[in-house]
Structure 1
């Protein structure tokens, strides 16, 4: 019982120092790893080895994947490719169903681009469609927010799901995670879209405009600021090519070996390796840079990518170190003995992730910390099969949506750019993320009932 109390105190301390005292999650997780190691009486000779080995292994396993994925996202953002993708989707979907259009655009753009950045990029488009169709800005804001949020928490190569996949031990099965994550994210986005439709004609008193910034430009001005936009095919290529290669690599490695084990197997296995697939995606993204000074702009994008990715890499590795300490502690056996007969299964990672998300605000921190906590418990929860581990990552991602409120930067990005008062945002944006997260978990649970 003392071991369980230590775990609860450690988790509460992580939440407290990150949410209230704004301590870096990296320091909070690393500090919890050291404190936990001594609290669980791990041999002093093994403490440093346990922590540094897990820290280094995590960076080696997933570091380049997160870095290259971030690089692709930054290039898409700065080259105008995100705008080009939005234009292409508007041509297909039109403006007859503005909420659907915003949801689908958000769903696609947020696969490689952070949801915060995606909303900033697409907000002018949202405003233009809102004005053109005469619907409420509240509904288009919710539709775009939830569309972006769905793939942000559930589909690699976004860093959060990648980090969770590494902690759970399914880095080599990213194709399967993507194949299942995309439809689950679609259900989540659809739930957000359904909720948004309730406010299609709902009027509200908007906050006053805050000066001249990106959000105050018209869509046409924003579009013009990028100069000549890349073609739709070129814009989608950096996303679609890596996803296709990763999925193909996973398919050829299935136990049935659908294409045998010859040269084609070797080539697709190599190209489907996440690092290689994302390098190819980055190469495709460089084709989006045109005109004079391409090399300088490319270097600027890479430097920005490193700046964005560095905190995520450190937080992810610190979470892995914390998880390694828990795996080496007696809490694993204690929980295994007490959880195995409860039949909670996927509900455990979902509840833990939701509690962490709601308490401290960051979906990425919730994904990293929960996966570190849950990884040693997979056997006792009956989730140690390949499919069980995939669904565990998705359950954590669903929990990491619940709920976005005042301690979440995304909440403020959406509410302020859309000029939604805080009280209204709590009743709409926060509830939308609850609906979305519950819908995602319900879908995951149904899949689990069928396949586990």
Structure 2
């Protein structure tokens, strides 16, 4: 017997609450929180244990099939860029072009570019030494420098692959990676800019912090500017070119040539280019780096897989049919994914968990939201990405990475960075909505 709408809604709320409480209050790994919620929701709506297990396995496996290689390769690219010093080279180059007087802008741009292949927390840790050094040299308050860098990294982390939240949502909803990178990147630019502008405005009255972190030192073994940028730029161009070709080019030969734009191949090329940034690799060092990348990717993949499993269980409950028959979701449209993701992000802290959970809930509701045709799935994912930016506060690990590495107090972080995350999310959604109604 199928569960009623009220029963389904009740256990969905219970399942989401369990995820929030276990991850935010008890610090349980998101994989286990999502897995537990699969059984709570499934049993609550009268699915049998065998049905729940089957849906969980299918959902987990489908996500691994579509995203596994991409996440591993994207993580490896980020780890190698950190090790070779390419991130420092990119930061120094941008600083020279923008000027020391505009150091916050330089760090914001650096964060945006470095954040394309590198997760925001790793990128912040890598660039923190340079950021602190610039704060000392220029006399600019550390909170301005820290927030400028953090928002540049954060804007792309929430909106585009290969970052796990956006990548998982694209896989669950069914969105082309190349198109998402292109459009998401364009929407991330104003979001990043708003974060930078707020940092400058809100940080003016802050005292200049005396940083204790050593300045980044020049390393003669660092790669050239060209070698540093190529591993980031080439994969993005290849993926974007292939996406454009699929939509507007009919030549079979040209499409065969652009197989290199497949995200797996493009990221593999990026990894090889990144390895070229350093000479004299030893098998021990290379093996250690790749093992580190695989271990980092493994932690991300189990969360994404569990998110896919949770989505499969939700699909088995026919929640889409219940909600579409009871609520006028069409009137909410693109606003619903944004509000749901923002609520989950604020409650439990992780942008990745928030967007994966939201995508799992929203996938069966796409027809009811009237976003299942044309560019609807793309803008649905972008709306969720905007929601996953807000609100970053004390339950967000990235919040504490910024605070601890920059030596900022909680009050300063909430006043400047947390408000910046709200403004970024609202800006990203507004731009997404404007583009949505225009097309």
Question: 1:219-234 maps to which residues of 2 (within 5 A)?
Answer: 219-220=216-217, 223-224=218-219, 227-234=220-227
Write out per-residue CA displacement over residues 89-144 of structure 1, whole angstroms, 9 at most, x where no aligned residue: 11221223122111101111111111111111111211222223222222111111
How far residue 206 of structure 1 moved from its aligned partner, in angstroms, is: 4.6
1:44-443 residue pairs with structure 2 within 5 A?
A: 44-170=49-175, 173-199=176-202, 201-204=204-207, 206=209, 209=212, 216-220=213-217, 223-224=218-219, 227-254=220-247, 257-258=248-249, 260-268=250-258, 270-291=259-280, 293-340=281-328, 343-443=331-431
User: Deviation of residue 342 (structure 1)?
Assistant: 5.1
Q: Deviations over 1:260-283 (max 9, x none)?
A: 232221121x21111111111111
Any conservation in 2 of the 1:339–1:381 contact (CA below 8 Å)? Answer: no
CA change 1:272–1:208 in 2 (3 A) is: closer
Q: Which residue of 1 aligns with 2:3?
A: none
Pick closer, same or farther for the CA change 1:443–1:339 going to 2, 3 Å.
farther
- Structure 1 range deviating more: 312-321 or 389-398: 389-398
| Deviation sequence 1:11-63 (CA, Å, 0-9, x none) | 11111111111111101111111222222223444332221111111111110
Question: Contact 2:104–2:196 (CA<8 Å) still a contact in 1?
Answer: yes
Seen in structure 2, the aligned counterparts of structure 1 residues 409 and 380 have a Cα distance that, compared at 3 Å, is same
Asked if 2 retains the 8 angstrom alpha-carbon contact of 1:378 and 1:384, the reply is yes
Runs of 4+ in 1 over 4 A off after TM superposition: 205-209
What is the CA–CA distance in structure 2 between the aligned matches of 1:35 and 1:199, rounded to whole Å?
44
5+ long unaligned stretches in structure 2: 1-5
Query: What secondary structure is seen at the aligned counterpart in 1 of 2:101?
Result: coil
Q: Aligned pair 1:24/2:29, yes or no?
A: yes
Q: CA RMSD for the aligned pairs?
A: 1.6
Q: Deviations over 1:248-307 (max 9, x none)?
A: 1111111xx42x232221121x2111111111111111112312x433222111111111
In structure 1, the residue matched to 2:10 is 5
Distance in 2, matches of 1:126 and 1:419, equals 12
State the alpha-carbon separation in 2 of the partners of residues 121 and 47 from structure 1: 42
Give the Cα–Cα distance (whole angstroms) in 2 for the partners of residues 341 and 386 of structure 1.
18
Given that residues 330 and 370 in structure 2 are in contact (C-alpha distance below 8 angstroms), is that contact kept between their aligned partners in structure 1?
no
| Residues 206/99 of structure 1: CA separation in 2 closer, same or farther (3 Å cut) | closer
Change (3 A) 1:248 1:5: same
CA distance, structure 2, for counterparts of residue 386 and residue 345 of structure 1? 14
For normalisation by structure 1, the TM-score amounts to: 0.92
Size of the alignment, in residue pairs? Answer: 434
Describe the superposition over 1:314-361 as per-residue Cα deviations: whole angstroms up to 9, x where unpaired: 110111111011111132211112344551112111111111111111
From the superposition, tell whether residues 47 and 27 of structure 1 become closer, same or farther in structure 2 (CA, over 3 Å): same
The 8 Å contact of residues 340 and 382 in structure 1, kept in 2 or not, is answered as: no
Give the distance between the partners of 1:120 and 1:90, measured in 2 at CA: 18
Unaligned segments of structure 1, at least 5 residues: 210-215
Structure 1 residues 399 and 246, CA gap change in structure 2 (3 angstroms): same
What SS does the aligned partner of 1:198 have?
helix
The separation in 2 between residues aligned to 1:205 and 1:182, in whole angstroms, is 33
SS in structure 1 opposite 2:375? helix
1:213 corresponds in structure 2 to none
Q: Which residue matches 2:432? A: 444
* Mean CA deviation greater in 36-45 or 309-318: 36-45
Comparing 108-117 with 382-391, which one deviates more in the overlay? 382-391
TM-score, reference length from structure 2: 0.95
